[in-house]
Amino acid sequence: MDITVFGSGYVGLVTAACFADAGNSVVCVDVDAGRVETLSQGEVPFYEPGLDQMVRANFQQGRLRFTTDAEEGVRHGLFQFIAVGTPPGEDGSADLKYVLQVADTIGSLMHDYRVVVTKSTVPVGTADKVRDALLAAQQRRGESVEFDVVSNPEFLKEGAAIADFTRPDRIVIGTDNPRTAELMRALYAPFNHNHDRIVVMDVRSSELTKYAANAMLATRISFMNELANVAEKVGADIEKVRVGIGSDPRIGYDFIYPGCGYGGSCFPKDVKALVHTAAESGHLATLLAAVEDVNQRQKRVLFERIRKHFGNDLKGRTIALWGLAFKPKTDDMREASSRVLMEALWEAGAKVRAFDPVAMPETQKIYGERADLTLCDSAEAACEGADVLAIVTEWKQFRSPNFDRLKKLLKQPTIFDGRNLYDPQLMKRQGFAYYSIGRVPVGV
């Protein structure tokens, strides 16, 4: 099939590459000429395991190409995917400017039937706005060309996006036209062999499904973080509580890990957008607002503990930091807990020596050269001359460090663990003061 994808960011590029890898002919359109040139040279401008190889292979075999020419894109694909950004506004609402610009472009250039698919995460009612933009563009040029608008939200986890796309849990299709549903079924047939994963529903339900899924997962995380804070107060171990409740099949073990807050491009933005959508419809979403409030508070937990440990005086202190990305297997630092911690430490007069396996270029891009930030070549190097160690990302290579070596590198054998990587009793035997989440500190 012939497919056009508008937007070569995270969602757009994964979508384009995976469809091309299944044998389709895909054109990816982006207004950023520099990005188009970079992608045409086989370079992916962000980290996602396996994506660079997939992009290069399909580009070389002619199934995937990149262009700034919107007319070429509209002419090429029966399916026109809109996968551009929807950045949050100050009030938490999703900014649909880029989505509607693409819809206007498609409407201005289309001459044959097209299926216009919103892949971006968008508020309920966006498909209606896309339809209106398409009709308005056609009216301006005095033409009327048939089209359908479909909601097809993405459910990609950063770090596992290719697997999520090619072996999905579900493929949600929002359309009121049975013919369009069948076209979408045919498009997704290569990823729907084992059993039927396609769920067809009305457009508005599809749009809400994406927000509901992310809000539910965020709620589980904030719930566990709230419980973790209670556990510390009453002398319980949240990790044992986690196993105790996770063994209940009605609850399960996914997304009930306590930590120093969630981040990334999805959960924070989508929870705020859903709160805003609820308010616009006349409903006060108290629970969802609390989910985000708990998360913002949780992101400051490590800083508050570090500050208290040093008697509220961090001037001249150096903190080693392991992990900068908001989670492993990505270089994404949007809304990352590391940023909240670093910025609070700098404001208090401390310096940071940081290491992350893939996110240090992104850190450099965000913060530039700073006298109070040193990006180190290894986890051990980050500890050299540092007073204490803080951990905010649970990369596998941080799980089994040489603790004897760490004790020699750190001025104080003290670890602030925001991801509960280690057993408190082991840390006590190793001679560390160890602060974690939802467990009583040891060695203090």
- Catalytic, 28? Answer no
Map 375-426 to HEC letters: ECCCHHHHHCCCCEEEECCCCHHHCCCCHHHHHHHCCCCEEEECCCCCCHHH
CB 173 within 8 A of CB 197: no
Strands of the 373-375 sheet, one edge to the other:
373-375, 351-355, 318-322, 388-391, 414-417, 433-435
CB 24 within 8 A of CB 41: no
CA distance 423 to 436: 9
CA distance 207 to 10: 19
- Please tell me which residue in 18, 28, 260, 266 is annotated as part of the active site: 266
CA distance 74 to 235: 61
DSSP track, 114-129: EEEEE-S---TTHHHH
CA distance 76 to 146: 16
Residue length of the chain? 444
Count of beta carbons in the 10 Å neighbourhood of residue 249: 6
Name the nearest CA neighbour of 337 among 400, 276, 239, 263: 263
Q: Please give the structure tokens belonging to residue 312.
A: 């509220």
CB 350 within 8 A of CB 418: no
SS3 111: coil
Question: 148 CB contacts (<8 Å, ≥6 apart)?
Answer: 114, 115, 116, 175, 177, 179, 180
Which residues are the active-site residues?
Answer: 266
